[in-house]
């Protein structure tokens, strides 16, 4: 759910506020399904970043793992990557602080307010990282960085040639085996 719980549902915040919703939904699902029902928190792209950012929270005991497919490391880093890719002559070092100021004023967050690198260092949950090597939107290096920083049990699946969010479609059996 994007920005509909504690994050108030006004702005999409690249996982910064949405991570609180992941915690709320995990608590709701644990109450609804009961304590013996296993829960897995998963997401793709911004959803992956959201669950990675929330992985340092204390979840109900039935949360078993986090699954992150094509997650980016932070709003700042993905904005920088997209600007450099799409507007190579843009003054990124000027635009990003200005953008962060605008997001702070209007949406209550800065582009540097959360990092999956920091969150996974504190995670107590196993994390499955998935990323397609053909992803031209979220660089695979971002998943490599998060995986390297992760201190909990972890697994990394790179799918050769898979574009953004298409790892499962390209290598269904391999991704299912990892899951």
- CA dist., res. 16 & res. 96, Å (int): 16
Q: Residue 142 carries which DSSP code?
A: H
Give the model confidence (pLDDT) of 65-80 as tens digits: 999 999 999 999 999 9
- CA dist., res. 18 & res. 8, Å (int): 9
Question: What pTM was estimated for this model as a whole?
Answer: 0.93
Residue 65, φ and ψ in degrees, nearest 5: -165, 170
Q: How far is CA 142 from CA 29, 68, 84, 116, in A?
A: 30, 12, 15, 9
- pLDDT of 1 reads 44
Give the model confidence (pLDDT) of 132-159 as tens digits: 999 999 999 999 999 999 999 999 999 9
Confidence of residue 10 (pLDDT cuts 50, 70, 90): confident
Query: Would you say 56 and 119 are in contact if contact means Cβ atoms under 8 Å apart?
Result: yes
Q: What percentage of the chain has pLDDT greater than the value 70?
A: 95
- pLDDT of 35 reads 85
């Amino acid at each position: 759910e994007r920005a509909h719980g504690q994050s108030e549902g006004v702005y999409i915040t690249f996982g910064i506020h949405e991570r609180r919703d992941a915690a709320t939904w995990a608590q709701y699902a644990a109450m609804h399904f009961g304590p013996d029902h296993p829960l897995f928190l998963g997401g793709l792209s911004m959803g992956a970043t959201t669950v990675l950012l929330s992985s340092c929270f204390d979840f109900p005991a039935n949360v078993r793992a986090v699954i992150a497919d094509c997650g980016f490391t932070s709003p700042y880093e993905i904005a920088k990557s997209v600007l450099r890719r799409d507007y190579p002559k843009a003054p990124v070092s000027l635009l990003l602080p200005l953008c962060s100021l605008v997001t702070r004023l209007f949406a209550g967050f800065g582009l540097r307010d959360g990092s999956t690198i920091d969150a996974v260092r504190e995670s107590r949950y196993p994390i499955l990282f998935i990323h397609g090597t053909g992803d031209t939107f979220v660089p695979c290096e971002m998943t490599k960085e998060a995986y390297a920083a992760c201190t909990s049990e972890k697994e990394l699946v790179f799918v050769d040639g898979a574009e953004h969010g298409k790892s499962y479609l390209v290598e269904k059996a391999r991704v299912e085996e990892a899951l």
